[in-house]
A and B are shown apart, each in its own frame.
Chain A
């Protein structure tokens, strides 16, 4: 980046204004006020304060990070310029708000908001405090940068950890309730809202100490249990992960098991769509159709309300899976010759057709129309019926294990290679001897199969299916989680689902702001890590090459 041509002062000033603008924006949408009572550290620091102070610090920090090498004093000055600019923007906002009634336009511009922004010190002194706070935060940003790496990482990470723990206080307390004596200890750290000051201090010291120590024996290539590639250790690691996964529901309780079920369901679908989109490069926007087909076939085959077959869940399972598979082929046939955006539109239409069919009055006697299908069977082994979230979790887990294994084996198989070639260049792939017809159809069908499986478990979980669960948003969610995780990457599907499905659930406390936070998170993520959170090895390789190419290193 050619930062040298613009004066660093001007840049710092501009990004400072941006930081202030973000803070004012967060205030105007109501978040600052809404979370002013929500303490991170009880009696000391609220979430509301965080929301308008963090942008100042963050922007100052980013400016300094991007700025060319500067002597410490200049760095400090630049940081303070940025911070002061942010503080000034907020101060100006407060001053304007004190003379003009902004509430006409912005419903959230309440006296209470001004109170929070001025730390309840009145407009004049408040504005001054804001400026000083900006200066200090800017200086803090410079300070963070000036610290040696080990100390910096320690402090930043400890602060982030404590912030997260304080933020998730309610969840942690609720979950730890089941942990016996441990719960009593954990409770000591928390106040009614957020962490207690003492608790926060202890945590900072504890986490900071551990991180400092870990960073000290800094050999990044040291072999530990977590990166050892010896087969035995690998299996041990896998086994350990398995045991942890098995123990999750009793440890975490119902609320989390519900989230886990959801995540697992989306991973199942994600693994399927990842084959279609990630491996074979076929953009499918109607993916929810197969989920619907799996769920509805399960419903039709088992529900005594419809009374057609009255099968058990296990008896109906093969029918549901085969139908999904065939549906995949049926979608694949007409779109064989389509590529890119045309393919996207047609698959989108397919998804809508399936939704409209299950919704239609015409098929009502068989599919239940708007009423959906109730009393769907739940899987039973011997006398054991899977019917709570925690029990169904194990069913999801089993399905997930099988599907992940299949996906993993397919990836490096001959078929996986054909998908890859087809994705890269269809004509050349044909000229290599790849049968594009069967290859494409198998991609659609395998994807459909996995999605259908997710549908059958979903049906068992709710014991009912409704047309409105089968909307376009499901397809988009699955596609998004693949993109966020990293196109074509199997671990990426897991990470993507955790972020995309679990995060909004955990943020439930933030009610109407949840999707705002979440949207901002996604945008940031795609800007900073466009290749996904856990990219496929291949794409990592590509980016790696770019980093070393002269075109980039020259500037």
Chain B
């Protein structure tokens, strides 16, 4: 049984169909990436998994349990955390308050403190800036904050939506290093990216999404060598 299993989901915005039968699996301990062009449905897939959208057809299963009957906030308690697209930090709250908010689903003070410690080790930058209002952080710092905030919930699965968006190449490297680091500490990661090169560099496996459908899936290594992927997503001729 996979940790996270998405079976043939069809998700709509009103009458517009965004996903046409997406299926994917994430095994415990993996980094799996979902790549695709703008508007392919990557964000929609993550929002469906986290319960913010409900699929009209198909199932999302966590350790075999169907999540259909759970509301978005209940799914957090099941161990699924999200780093939303465009980071979505609470701009008017301080760094510290953002992190506290991330641990909203936990009640154990000790565990919260441990998580905080862990986030600060991972991102010493956040520790320095913990009293700063999040809206005034740089883009890279906001990404760190959004990631740290998700980790505060002790997730077993972390859904990350384009963490590299709008960051300078050096920072992108840093972020991807951290993603691997987080994964080594035992968090399973589903990583949505447009930066296919970097994503396939850190992921174990990958899926290619195109207008709401999975068109390719393979190990990251094989995908990197796939001619269609190279042409469409890695900018090689």
Residues of A near B133 (CB, < 8 A) are 541-542, 545
Residue of B71, B88, B94 touching A428 (CB-CB under 8 A): B88
Per the bound structure, the CA–CA distance linking A425 and B88 in Å amounts to 8
Q: Does A222 contact B (CB under 8 A)?
A: no
**A435 and B82 form a contact (CB under 8 A):** no
Q: How far is the CB of B49 from chain A (nearest CB, A)?
A: 11
Q: Does A433 contact B (CB under 8 A)?
A: yes
Q: Which A residues between 393 and 445 are near B, CB-CB below 8 angstroms?
A: 414, 417-418, 420-421, 424-425, 427-428, 430-437
If A436-B73, A549-B136 touch, whether A427 touches B105 (CB-CB below 8 Å) is no
Name the residue of chain A whose CB is nearest to the CB of B82. Answer: A431
Name the residue of chain B whose CB is nearest to the CB of A418. Answer: B104
**B52 and A421 form a contact (CB under 8 A):** no
A-contact 0/1 string along B97-132, CB 8 Å cutoff: 000111011000000000000000000000000001
Residues of A near B76 (CB, < 8 A) are 431-433
Residues of B near A435 (CB, < 8 A) are 71, 73-74
Per the bound structure, the CA–CA distance linking A538 and B131 in Å amounts to 11
Q: Which B residues between 2 and 20 are near A, CB-CB below 8 angstroms?
A: none
A-contact 0/1 string along B135-171, CB 8 Å cutoff: 1100000000000010001000000000000000000
**B84 and A427 form a contact (CB under 8 A):** yes
Q: How far is the CB of B96 from chain A (nearest CB, A)?
A: 12
Q: How large, as a class, is the contact surface on chain A? A: 20 to 34
Residues of A near B82 (CB, < 8 A) are 431
Name the residue of chain A whose CB is nearest to the CB of B131. Answer: A541
Q: Does B93 contact A (CB under 8 A)?
A: yes
**B105 and A431 form a contact (CB under 8 A):** no
**B50 and A428 form a contact (CB under 8 A):** no
Residues of B near A431 (CB, < 8 A) are 50, 52, 72-73, 76, 81-82, 84
If A431-B84, A432-B104 touch, whether A420 touches B93 (CB-CB below 8 Å) is yes
**A432 and B92 form a contact (CB under 8 A):** no
Residues of A near B50 (CB, < 8 A) are 431
Name the residue of chain B whose CB is nearest to the CB of A421. Answer: B101
Residues of B near A437 (CB, < 8 A) are 71
Q: Does B91 contact A (CB under 8 A)?
A: yes
Name the residue of chain A whose CB is nearest to the CB of B90. Answer: A424
Residues of B near A432 (CB, < 8 A) are 73, 76, 101-102, 104-105, 149, 153
Q: How far is the CB of A424 from chain B (nearest CB, A)?
A: 4
Which of B50, B52, B72, B81 lies at the interface centre, i.e. has the most chain A CB atoms within 10 A of its CB?
B72
Q: Which B residues between 54 and 90 are near A, CB-CB below 8 angstroms?
A: 71-74, 76-77, 81-82, 84, 88, 90
Q: Which A residues between 427 and 472 are near B, CB-CB below 8 angstroms?
A: 427-428, 430-437
**A421 and B90 form a contact (CB under 8 A):** yes
Q: How far is the CB of B200 from chain A (nearest CB, A)?
A: 26
Residues of A near B149 (CB, < 8 A) are 432
Name the residue of chain A whose CB is nearest to the CB of B72. Answer: A430
B-contact 0/1 string along A337-358, CB 8 Å cutoff: 0000000000000000000000
Per the bound structure, the CA–CA distance linking A2 and B101 in Å amounts to 42
Residues of A near B135 (CB, < 8 A) are 542
Name the residue of chain B whose CB is nearest to the CB of A424. Answer: B90
Name the residue of chain A whose CB is nearest to the CB of B152. Answer: A432
**A428 and B90 form a contact (CB under 8 A):** yes
Residue of A427, A434, A436, A542 touching B92 (CB-CB under 8 A): A542
Per the bound structure, the CA–CA distance linking A538 and B136 in Å amounts to 13
Name the residue of chain B whose CB is nearest to the CB of A439. Answer: B73
Residues of B near A436 (CB, < 8 A) are 73
If A421-B101, A427-B52, A545-B136 touch, whether A433 touches B73 (CB-CB below 8 Å) is yes
Name the residue of chain B whose CB is nearest to the CB of A434. Answer: B73
Name the residue of chain A whose CB is nearest to the CB of B80. Answer: A431
**B77 and A433 form a contact (CB under 8 A):** yes
Residues of A near B72 (CB, < 8 A) are 430-431
Q: How far is the CB of B73 from chain A (nearest CB, A)?
A: 5
Q: How far is the CB of A539 from chain B (nearest CB, A)?
A: 8
Which of B50, B73, B94, B136 lies at the interface centre, i.e. has the most chain A CB atoms within 10 A of its CB?
B73
Q: How far is the CB of B110 from chain A (nearest CB, A)?
A: 18
**A424 and B93 form a contact (CB under 8 A):** yes
**B73 and A427 form a contact (CB under 8 A):** no
Residues of B near A539 (CB, < 8 A) are 92
Q: How far is the CB of A379 from chain B (nearest CB, A)?
A: 41
Residues of B near A414 (CB, < 8 A) are 104
Which of A433, A434, A538, A545 lies at the interface centre, i.e. has the most chain B CB atoms within 10 A of its CB?
A433
Which of A417, A421, A432 lies at the interface centre, i.e. has the most chain B CB atoms within 10 A of its CB?
A432
Residues of B near A538 (CB, < 8 A) are 92-93
Residues of A near B52 (CB, < 8 A) are 427, 430-431
Name the residue of chain A whose CB is nearest to the CB of B78. Answer: A433
Name the residue of chain A whose CB is nearest to the CB of B136. Answer: A545
Per the bound structure, the CA–CA distance linking A421 and B93 in Å amounts to 9
**A433 and B93 form a contact (CB under 8 A):** no
**B92 and A424 form a contact (CB under 8 A):** yes
Q: How far is the CB of A3 from chain B (nearest CB, A)?
A: 28
Q: How far is the CB of B69 from chain A (nearest CB, A)?
A: 15
**A417 and B73 form a contact (CB under 8 A):** no
Per the bound structure, the CA–CA distance linking A137 and B91 in Å amounts to 47
**B104 and A433 form a contact (CB under 8 A):** yes
Residues of A near B132 (CB, < 8 A) are 545
**A424 and B73 form a contact (CB under 8 A):** no
Per the bound structure, the CA–CA distance linking A282 and B51 in Å amounts to 23
If A420-B93, A421-B101, A434-B104 touch, whether A428 touches B73 (CB-CB below 8 Å) is no
Residues of A near B153 (CB, < 8 A) are 432-433
Residues of A near B91 (CB, < 8 A) are 424
Per the bound structure, the CA–CA distance linking A427 and B82 in Å amounts to 11
Residues of B near A424 (CB, < 8 A) are 90-93
Name the residue of chain B whose CB is nearest to the CB of A436. Answer: B73
Name the residue of chain A whose CB is nearest to the CB of B159. Answer: A431
Per the bound structure, the CA–CA distance linking A425 and B86 in Å amounts to 12
Q: How far is the CB of B14 from chain A (nearest CB, A)?
A: 14
11 A-B contacts (beta carbon < 8 Å)? A424-B93, A425-B90, A427-B88, A430-B73, A432-B73, A432-B105, A433-B77, A433-B153, A434-B104, A435-B73, A542-B133
Other contacts beyond A418-B104, A433-B77, A437-B71: 15, CB < 8 A: A417-B104, A424-B91, A425-B88, A430-B71, A430-B72, A431-B84, A432-B101, A432-B105, A433-B76, A538-B93, A542-B92, A542-B133, A542-B135, A545-B136, A549-B136
Task: Please list the 6 inter-chain residue pairs (A to B) with the smallest Cβ-Cβ separation, ordered nearest first.
Answer: A433-B105, A433-B76, A430-B72, A424-B90, A428-B88, A432-B104
- A residues contacting B by CB (< 8 A) are 414, 417-418, 420-421, 424-425, 427-428, 430-437, 538-539, 541-542, 545, 549
